[in-house]
Homo-oligomer: A and B are copies of this chain.
């Protein structure tokens, strides 16, 4: 019987992102999908600014952008007026108060996105078997190393196989065999369901905002306009709601019905279709799975765990983050970097985000369905400019969330907080020595790489390699010489977080290894508050840090957001420009903890304590090496 590290069911966004990570990190994978080929039409979703960061961190962004996707920088709001509709305002899709590298939403056919992942997975030796489906599974523990038995079959029933696996992952979508078998219930947060008509096509129109994302409320109904690649436009029209007196979840409409409806809504503007690429009517309700796993062997993610209306454009993004969150945790458990208890953080972290998403979606969907009073009805209003309605207000308030930067994990063993088992006076927390918040992504910062003088994005410098990322902000070199040296000395202690996971095969030549010369457990960056030409790595850094020579940076690039800072990266992190600090970032890019950089053993001690909790090992206990 074939044995795999992971069996993955489903090759939509969550399954593909999960498979991509684990395939790169060398796991043996059986990946199946019940569709004969990747998504052909429709089913697009927006890629949030934050997801684009993630895709870049995976080295996939350029391939996505090669398809010339549409980019949404602004959303326009249209409301009824006596002549039909008029624009009442616009709002940035990712406003300036959010510090985003890519302040726009990227719209591209889901099939093209899937293909980018598939190509990468195949490069790492994994083939997705299609059309295959799962017919059964059990965590019977008969083989303690591969406790899960999974039965798979070709959809036409001609072939079957039974394999054993360490883990089973379901990314099957809303209708999940695995979830059903486990008897996990879907909790319907918002009982209201809707029937949607969605149409992708090339149009001709004099509606001026056809290339913008728009929400249009008219006396004839509401429509959402979303631009697409290849000169296409997607229209979402709500056809029925469970709050309607004649509610019928099987309500349908022809292509022509929807077009005529859109024509009515867009008046006084005209619209016609050159071609329709895809048209569909589907009912959708909100739902969230009560559990994401029962045994920490069989996991679920993506639409299996949460479904909601398409308007917020969050499905694919949430799926990506589900996948990456689980992938690195499994990787750490399997690498011996973490005890199995690490896996228990997946469900609470990701379920919280799904709940936030459903709350937002319910509010947004409700407001979208609400009839906006037409101009005649508000004629009494004094101002020329109509008051911002609830819909616009909610939209604005939700920008941080919808851009992906509002994702915040609560304190737990990974995200340090006052209740964390590791307690040391040198831990810094939000507005107490740092601007960083644990459970949130590292603030973007532009710095100069010392070895080649390239101006780079610090938060992207370590790829998604499954390692913790340790950023030593080393302040002014003259002030921190001893602190940096001491940190390196204590890190050299054989029981430190740094030493205990050092590569075993010390004879292997790692001269050209850029990100993991010393260990797969962490990658390390050092950032000095000094101009690049004044930084000499061999002279200024102890060997333990100097071996990450491609990850030494000068904090010497001016930043518009902190125009008066001398060291913009230090300042953006809220760290002292002179004395710096140490930031530990999780493998998925979220801040784990921030520690003060001091002379003596304190800094390493705090880090040892933090990593002791994560790794389940007593780190730094013996200091014989000193």
Contacts and interface: CB of A to CB of B under 8 A. Distances in A.
Interface of A: 62-63, 65-66, 70-74, 87, 89-90, 104, 202, 204, 206, 208, 210-212, 227, 231, 274, 448, 451-455, 511-512, 532-533, 536-538, 560
Given A90-B453, A204-B511, A212-B453, 4 more contacts: A70-B452, A73-B455, A74-B453, A227-B452
Given A104-B454, A454-B71, A231 B512 contact: yes
Contacts of A65: 62
8 contacts: A62-B65, A70-B452, A73-B455, A74-B532, A204-B512, A208-B536, A211-B451, A274-B512
B560 A452 contact: no
Contacts of A104: 454
A71 B452 contact: yes
Contact of A560 (B204, B231, B560): B560
B208 A537 contact: yes
Contact of A538 (B72, B208, B211, B231): B208
The 9 closest A-B pairs by CB, nearest first: A74-B453, A211-B452, A73-B453, A211-B451, A90-B533, A204-B511, A71-B454, A73-B454, A62-B66
Contacts of A231: 512
Given A62-B65, A66-B62, A560-B560, A73 B452 contact: yes
Contact of A212 (B202, B206, B452, B455): B452
A65 B211 CA distance: 28
Contacts of A452: 70-73, 211-212, 227
A46 to B, nearest CB: 14
A549 to B, nearest CB: 9
A202 B509 CA distance: 14
Contacts of A538: 206, 208
Contacts of A274: 512
Which residue of A208, A453, A533 has the most chain B CB atoms within 10 A of its CB atom? A453
Contacts of A454: 71, 73, 104
A276 to B, nearest CB: 16
Contacts of A511: 204
A363 B66 CA distance: 42
